[in-house]
Amino acid sequence: MTELTEQAELTAVRLVEGYRKGEFSPVEVTRAALRRAEEGGAAVNAFVRLSPEEALAQAAESAERWRRGEPAGLLDGVPVTVKDILLMRGGPTLRGSRTVAAEGRWDEDAPSVARLREHGAVFLGRTTTPEFGWKGVTDSPLTGITRNPYDLSRTSGGSSGGSAAAVALGAGPLSLGTDGGGSVRIPAAFCGIFALKPTYGRVPLYPASAFGTLSHVGPMTRDAADAALMMDVISAPDTRDWSALGPAAGSFTDGLDGGVRGLRVAFSASLGGQVAVRPQVAAAVRRGVEGLAALGAYVEEADPDFTDPVAAFHVLWFGGAARVTQRLGPRGRALLDPGLREICDVGARCSALDHLAAVDVRMELGRRMGRFHETYDVLVTPTLPVTAFEAGAEVPRGSGHRRWTGWTPFTYPFNMTQQPAATVPVGVDGDGLPVGLQIVAARHRDDLVLRTAHALYTAGIAGIAPPVTL
């Protein structure tokens, strides 16, 4: 590999170490990341826009700070990307929609973006999303189809599909995504990277999502150690989020190395037979679970005590979609993704009583999972029952599913309960497509999810080869 190629594949942890030792410069690393973004960008379509001149200027400022031995923070000089749902000053946040006007001041950062900026991160650009982040794949009338770096005929997943593809390509080791029903975990699983949906409120969000307290902000990274480092930055409180949690009890990075010996792990291969999982996915996830047992965890096959809450999730999700598009007149609605327009019509017909009944389901689900975690420290499942399918489709061909929730039954329940959940790559199927293993813990135990994932990476159980350079 050339030096630039090597730098494009380094973790954020390794980059910061290298800057501290003077092994390489933020400018070199940023050039390498931009090259990956430009080389793979056209084919994969991971970016709404790249900002090479701004990024290189930020990198030069970082290089000078490192030269003086005065880094701005924990991520000084590390290239990052941001999903085009989160505000980032200096350019429009179009949210994948032709109904959002690009004109305006655009002078405010979302809390997580602001924290990255304060810590000296280098912003490469904005990544693609389906319109308003409404579905589990990434295509929109505004930006077209985002493809999978492992196979351009397949989807990257969504809704943070551009972010997942960017990290997989080597276009920066870190990306900010959002997750309302699986939207960091789905594309991370399809693209072979790590992603964490933190406990709700752990990472502040502003403006508030129309999807309410289903929507989380989370890191999408090379591995669990990078996610922990990123969490140490983006989890700082922000008064603009009325539902944000207080400061974290300690450093997520400092809590990584406890291992899993003695950890009580519940392994649910199919949520009690409710989900048909493809055999190659099931086999890869089971090998990952066997790896946890070999590391000293107490593993038991046990299913959480709930039935599929999809009907209640649809009420909440479709209602949020109707709310986010409520301002649009007939001309604006005609510009929407047809699938989004369809669920908005359904959501608009839901009554307040329908919504409150869905909240009742959500609260009961949370109670059941709270009791479950009195017995088990973590729950492990497949992240998804399938690997990446054809690009441009909401559901796999021939699956019989109507909506994206039909093939994501392992992800959205934990948005309803607000629990931390991560996906870890644990292999590939016969077509070379990544398989993800999901780790879930009780609310506020993000540290436990990260520690379990880190143990898998340290043991060589997690992690797959990057896609071949396009």
Q: Tell me whether the omega of the peptide bond preceding residue 52 falls within 30 degrees of 0, making it cis.
A: no
DSSP-derived secondary structure letter, 385: S
Measured distance CA(415)–CA(385) in Å, rounded:
18
Measured distance CA(86)–CA(309) in Å, rounded:
28
Extended beta strands in 51-132, E state: 79-83, 122-127
Contacts of 330 (CB under 8 A, 6+ apart): none
Are 112 and 176 in contact by the 8 Å Cβ rule? The answer is yes
Measured distance CA(149)–CA(161) in Å, rounded:
11
Among 82, 79, 84, CA closest to 35: 79
Residue 243 annotated in active site: no
Measured distance CA(60)–CA(55) in Å, rounded:
9
Residue 83 annotated in active site: yes
Residue 62 annotated in active site: no
Strand ranges across the sheet with 434-441: 47-50, 122-127, 79-83, 174-179, 216-221, 194-197, 421-428, 434-441, 378-382, 264-267, 298-301
Tell me how far the alpha carbon of residue 104 is from its chain's centroid. 28
Of these residues, 140, 159, 175, 209, which one is catalytic? 159
Of these residues, 51, 62, 163, 183, which one is catalytic? 183
Of these residues, 25, 51, 62, 83, which one is catalytic? 83
Would you please indicate which residues are annotated as catalytic (active-site) residues? 83, 159, 183
